[in-house]
Amino acid sequence: SNAPVKVAVTGAAGQICYNLLFRIASGALLGPDQPVELRLLEITPALKALEGVVMELDDSAFPLLSGVQIGDDANTVFDGVNLALLIGARPRSKGMERADLLEANGAIFTTQGRALNDHAAADIKVLVTGNPANTNALIAMSNAPDIPRQRFNALTRLDHNRAKAQLAAKVGATVSDITHMTIWGNHSATQYPDLFHALVRGQNAADLVNDQEWLESTFLPTVQQRGAAIIEARGASSAASAANATIDHMHDWVLGTPENDWVSMSVPSDGSYGVPEGLISSFPCTVSGGEYSIVQGLEINDFSRAKIDASTAELAEEREAVRSLGLIS
C-alpha cells in the first residue's frame, strides 16, 4: 500500500484542530486509500491537552492513521513533512490593534518558516489558516528562501464556501448548483466575494440575482462579517467550518480541482489582475498535478476593480507593517 503522507498541524490542541485532526485521520484530506502520519505542534503549556486529543485519536482506531507525534519544537515536528497546516496563531485579544497582532504572530511564523525551510520534505506544501492568514503566510514564505514561493498558500476557502451558501439561499439553489465563485484579496473584512463570474446551474449569478442593492448591502457584508456573526451566536469563533475549509483547500491543492470549476486560494501574486507581485492574495485558481494556476483573462468591471484594489491595498499595508518590524526583508 502507499507510504504514509506526513502531515504537520500547528495549534493542534485548539478548537479548529479538535475537528480537523479527526477528519484528516478519517481520510477526508487525501482520500480513502492514503495513510497519513500526523505531526502535531503546540506550545509547551498546551502539550498536556494535546496528549488528551491524541488519546481520542487512538480511541478512534482510524485505519488510515499510521502514526502520531507531538512536540513543542518546530524543527523536530516538521522533520520530513510533506504537508503543513499552520493553524496555531496568536488570537486578537480585546483592544489589540492589528499591528500588535502582526507582531505577535510574526514571531511564530518566522520560526515556523525557518523550520520548514530547514527540515520539511522537498515536496512540502504549506497552508496558513491562523490569522492574519495572508500576512502570516507571507512571513513564513519570506523566512523559507529554499522553498519555492508557490508552496505557501493562505486560507480564503471558508469565505468562498460562505459566499456559495449565501448565494444558494438567495436564489433557491443548492451549493452544488454553484460554480466559479471567487474571493479576491485578503481574508479580512475587505475581502471581495465576486458574483460577476459565479454561475448558478451555468447561469451568471449577478444576472440571475439582478439586484445590485442586495449584492452591495446584504451579500458582501454578510460574507465579510460572517466570522463576527459566528462569534456573536456561538460565543466562540468558527471552528468546524474553518477545519472543513482547510481540508477543502489542501485536498484540492493535492488532488486537483473539478473540471469546469475553480476555487479561491490565497497564493503569492504574480501580478495577475493588477495585484502587486508577491502579496499573498486570494484569486480564482485551478489545480492540476499538485500545481495551482491563477485563472487568467476574467473581465473585471469597475465595481469589482475598486473592491479588489481596496483589499489588496490592505495587504500591501500589512506587508509594509511586517517589513518595518523586520519580519520580512
Binding residues for substrate: 92, 98, 131, 162
Residue 79 touching ligand NAI (CB under 6 A):
no
Binding residues for NAD(+) are 11-17, 105, 112, 129-131
Catalytic residue among 160, 180, 187, 251: 187
Residue 242 touching ligand NAI (CB under 6 A):
yes
Min. distance of Cβ 302 from ligand NAI in angstroms?
28
Residue 91 touching ligand NAI (CB under 6 A):
yes
Residue with smaller CB distance to ligand NAI, 3 or 43: 43
Residue 88 touching ligand NAI (CB under 6 A):
yes
Residue 281 touching ligand NAI (CB under 6 A):
no
SS (H, E, C) the chain: CCCCEEEEEECCCCHHHHHHHHHHHHCCCCCCCCCEEEEEECCHHHHHHHHHHHHHHHHHCCCCEEEEEEECCHHHHCCCCCEEEECCCCCCCCCCCHHHHHHHHHHHHHHHHHHHHHHCCCCCEEEECCCCHHHHHHHHHHCCCCCCHHHEEECCHHHHHHHHHHHHHHHCCCHHHEECCEEEECCCCCCEEECCCCEECCEEHHHHHCCHHHHHHHHHHHHHCHHHHHHHHHCCCCCHHHHHHHHHHHHHHHHCCCCCCCEEEEEECCCHHHCCCCCEEEEEEEEECCEEEECCCCCCCHHHHHHHHHHHHHHHHHHHHHHHCCCCC
Residue 9 touching ligand NAI (CB under 6 A):
no
Active site residue 187: yes
Residue 150 touching ligand NAI (CB under 6 A):
no
Residue with smaller CB distance to ligand NAI, 89 or 206: 89
Min. distance of Cβ 57 from ligand NAI in angstroms?
16
Among 5, 7, 30, 41, which residue interacts with ligand NAI (rule: CB under 6 A)? 41
Residue facing ligand NAI at closest CB distance? 14
Residue 35 touching ligand NAI (CB under 6 A):
no
Interface ranges with ligand NAI (CB under 6 A): 10-11, 13-16, 41-43, 46, 87-89, 91, 108, 129-131, 133, 155, 158, 187, 237-239, 242
Catalytic residue annotation: 187
